[in-house]
Amino acid sequence: MTLGDRIKKARALKKISRADLSKLCLVPYSTISEIENNDQKTSTKIVEIALALGVSPEWLATGKGQMPHGLNRSPYSVVSSDDDESGIPIKFSDVRGSCGGGAINGDELDRAPLIKEPSWFKRYKIKPKDALAVWADGDSMSEYIVDGDIAIFDTSKKTPKSGCIYLIQHPDGTKIKKLRLGFDGSWILESNNPDKRRFPDERIPPDQADLLIVLGEFVYRQGG
């Protein structure tokens, strides 16, 4: 079985068209067509294609190992081509949002986008250009967001409000926390986990408020 055969097999199982796959992994339709027609033996986009199809990159590249990636769930959703609505992409950042106390940051690398139907944006009152998806890393927000979830934020909402969850640029890295406004004007970065010894809250006094850089307000979570 060739690389092209494996892509076609995975597409058939996921019931997505070649055009859908192109949108999901941001690989040109012509390139996918060439691979599937066995004109290309390999590709530099193996990982992107595998993630979009929900299969193991090793299996897709070599045919070795097991076909499923994890539980054969793709971190992307796709609207079938016979649906009345067309999918709209959400920017998917490779920067992880820490739901813990450690530094989870680094250079931002864009993934293939998450795809949502137009009705999703209407339901959650968010514009596609303002949506940002990140991986959640850690358990400090486990009552709302668990490790491995995909969390979506509205980057147009950067003014902190007490009681809301935000993606925050922190000196220790990018964090996902609930903000609480203290009586003295301090902002409290609150962990929604009852184990406060492992996940203590953090207080930012008023004179250090410029350290609190909000990247977006939490909108939605889905299992990764």
Tokens of 220: 């939605």
Res. 102 pLDDT band, cuts 50 70 90: very low
Mean pLDDT throughout 55-59? 79
Mean pLDDT throughout 81-93? 61
With tokens 């739901």, the residue in question is 99
SS3 at position 138: coil
Statement to judge: residues 118 and 218 lie in one domain: yes
Statement to judge: residues 151 and 189 lie in one domain: yes
Which tens digit of pLDDT belongs to each residue from 3-28? 888 889 888 887 888 888 887 777 88
Provide the CA 61 distance to its chain's centre, in angstroms.
Answer: 24
Residue 175 has pLDDT above 60, yes or no: yes
Which residues does 50 contact at the CB level (< 8 Å), separation at least 6? 56, 57, 59, 60, 61, 69
Which tens digit of pLDDT belongs to each residue from 58-70? 788 888 876 654 4
Predicted pLDDT at 153: 94
Query: Would you say 111 and 180 are in contact if contact means Cβ atoms under 8 Å apart?
Result: no
Predicted pLDDT at 79: 39
Res. 97 pLDDT band, cuts 50 70 90: low
Determine, yes or no, domain membership for 77: no
Angle at 7 between CA 56 and CA 80, to 5 degrees: 100
Tokens of 52: 């979009």
Determine, yes or no, domain membership for 191: yes
Q: How many folded domains does the chain comprise?
A: 2
What CATH number does residue 187 fall under? 2.10.109.10
Statement to judge: residues 46 and 92 lie in one domain: no
* Residue numbers of the domain that contains 120: 88-222
Q: What is the pTM of this model?
A: 0.58
Query: Would you say 92 and 133 are in contact if contact means Cβ atoms under 8 Å apart?
Result: yes
| Mean pLDDT over each residue of the chain, to the nearest integer | 77
Determine, yes or no, domain membership for 74: no
What percentage of the chain exceeds 90 in pLDDT? 18
Mean pLDDT throughout 135-151? 74
Determine, yes or no, domain membership for 78: no
Segment among 119-133, 138-152, 184-198 with least mean pLDDT: 138-152
Last-in-domain residue among 47, 62, 77: 62
Predicted pLDDT at 159: 92
Statement to judge: residues 46 and 112 lie in one domain: no
